[in-house]
Structure 1
Amino acid sequence: MKLSHKLYPFQNSDPTRKSLGDIIILHGLFGSSKNWVTVARFLSNFGSVYTVDQRNHGDSPHSEEHSIRLMSEDLEEFIFDHKIQNPVLLGHSMGGLVAMYFDLTHPGILKKLIIQDIAPRSYPFAYDKEIQSMSFALDGFTSRTEIDSEMAKYVTDSFIRQFLQMSLDRNEDGTYRWKLNVDGLNHARRVFDDVFTFEKTSETPTLFLLGGESEYIRDSDFGVMDHFFKNNHKIKIAGGGHYIHFTHQTEYLEILNQELSFHS
């Protein structure tokens, strides 16, 4: 599948600083490349940055099929089409699962792997409320405020609603639509099941960048990380949850700065 993306070319005011190569960012479930503008602009100090819309998200095509394996194949096609060599791959949540699966099944391709707040294991599809908040008919709604009020009946957290609404698009006639393939994602409830059942391991330098209070990471995950990724280290952002690239952005970007400066 040909994926939509945005490119942030390498630009650094220091003429002595060379690009460390290409960087690819993979968003999480219900996200898109739009969630990563600030991070991508920051990372363009180190290399050219591609923010990708994965299948059924953003401006990329919709499909009835949605799995980590297929998204990994989409990424392989993207890297081949854009002639990208040894990229740094940053993946958040679902995008982190895709990034880890890709690395384990494509040894030697990546320069570095950065995984945000997810572990190489199965996860439940615990997003019924989010799906419901995007499943009512949008006919008759004339503003985002009206839609937000209806969504609040299902999702009380305004941060999550605002995150979801980044995929809410207004048509030329004033009506609204979801860019997300909401129905397709609703029918892909096993997307996070039994992904890492093989005995492959990776030597790719890997950073697990974790929220210190994230519900997505449990103590037993550290051993699983070490099992699959032999050359990894872990950094926790104290007080952080699942969206540390937004909620703890200053600290998050400083960690990336230190991590990539070491490789540049």
Structure 2
Amino acid sequence: MKLNLVATGDGPAVVLLHGLLGAAQNFGAIQKAIAAKGRRVLALDLRNHGNSPHAEGMGYATMAADVAETLQDAGAWPAAVIGHSMGGKVAMALALARPEGVERLLVADIAPVTYPTPVFTRYIAAMQAIPLREGLTRRDADAALVEAVPEPPLRAFLLQNLVFTEQPPRWRIGLGEIAAGMGEIGGWPALPGRYEGPVLVLSGDASAYVKPEHHAAIRALFPAARFAGIAAGHWLHAENPRAFLAAVEEFLAPG
């Protein structure tokens, strides 16, 4: 499957892969900043997200194959690949399956392990329960999410996926397909091979997604992996973009 992408800049290719319920547009300022350093930066909408096609199956091997097809079609092969959360797992699966296409890999706040998903499952159920009727406003939709999603910034993040320019409004993303694939999204498959290239696992200091006990599992697949942290939670690129960009620039620097 060829994915929707947003590209900017010229130079060596850098790819950005978003997390669950996100989209390429979430990397807007980050993408521009990386491109300003002389790079061609491609932010992708993963399947069932953003403006990419909807289809059954949210397995990481499948999503990695989507990314490989899209990058080859765009002439961005090989590339440095940066993935956050679910996108980080896609990036890891891509590096294992197609190492010739990944020059280096930055994994943002995720490990190749299984995570519980009850919070995101609750969010998705609440999104699916919003009645998509004529005249539905953003305020109405926001109010419908308050009980399941009490944090206003998180509700705004989720509602970016609802298209209000059409009546009745519609979900841009494949909510049904994502809901059906939550077991795959939270899990991690037994993928063969190892990726020998440079890997940085960048974590938020206030996040518990990458724990010391995960390091062995990461190094078993990515023997050159090194670990670093910045002052942030799980959404580290949004919470501390300056420190995130500094880490990215250091990792992308030649030598």
Q: Please name the residue that 1:221 is paired with.
A: 214
**Contact (CA 8 Å) 1:25, 1:89: kept in 2 or not?**
yes
Q: Specify every segment of 5 or more residues in structure 1 that has no aligned partner in the other structure, as ranges.
A: 11-18
Q: Which of 46, 57, 61 does residue 53 from structure 2 map onto? A: 61
Does 2:242 align with 1:250? yes
Q: Please name the residue that 1:185 is paired with.
A: 178
Cα distance, 1:118 vs. partner?
0.3
Calculate the TM-score normalised by the size of structure 1.
0.90
Deviations 1:1-34 (A, max 9, x none): 1211111122xxxxxxxx3x10111111100111
Q: Please name the residue that 1:5 is paired with.
A: 5
Q: Which of 117, 128, 147 does residue 141 from structure 2 map onto? A: 147
Q: Please name the residue that 2:160 is paired with.
A: 166
**Contact (CA 8 Å) 2:199, 2:226: kept in 1 or not?**
yes
Distance across 2 between alignment mates of 1:183 and 1:143: 22
Q: 196-205 or 214-223, which moves further after superposition?
A: 196-205
Q: Which of 200, 203, 209 does residue 210 from structure 1 map onto? A: 203
Does 2:31 align with 1:40? yes
Moved over 4 A (4+): none
**Which protein has the bigger helix share?**
2
Cα distance, 1:154 vs. partner?
1.2
Distance across 2 between alignment mates of 1:144 and 1:235: 39
Q: Which of 23, 34, 37 does residue 14 from structure 2 map onto? A: 23
Match for 1:167: what amino acid?
N
Q: Specify every segment of 5 or more residues in structure 2 that has no aligned partner in the other structure, as ranges.
A: none
| Number of equivalences | 252
Cα distance, 1:92 vs. partner?
0.7
Distance across 2 between alignment mates of 1:168 and 1:58: 10
Distance across 2 between alignment mates of 1:225 and 1:82: 30
Q: Please name the residue that 2:169 is paired with.
A: 176
**Contact (CA 8 Å) 2:18, 2:45: kept in 1 or not?**
yes
Cα distance, 1:199 vs. partner?
4.6
Q: 31-40 or 100-109, which moves further after superposition?
A: 100-109
Matching of residues 99-178 of structure 1 within 5 Å: 99-126=91-118, 127-136=120-129, 137-173=131-167, 175-178=168-171
CA spacing shift, 1:66–1:199, aligned 2, 3 Å: closer
Deviations 1:154-212 (A, max 9, x none): 11122221111121212344x32111111111111221365342452111101111011
Cα distance, 1:141 vs. partner?
4.7
User: How well do the aligned residues superpose, as a CA RMSD in angstroms?
Assistant: 1.7
Matching of residues 232-251 of structure 1 within 5 Å: 232-238=225-231, 240-251=232-243
User: Identity across aligned pairs (percent)?
Assistant: 27
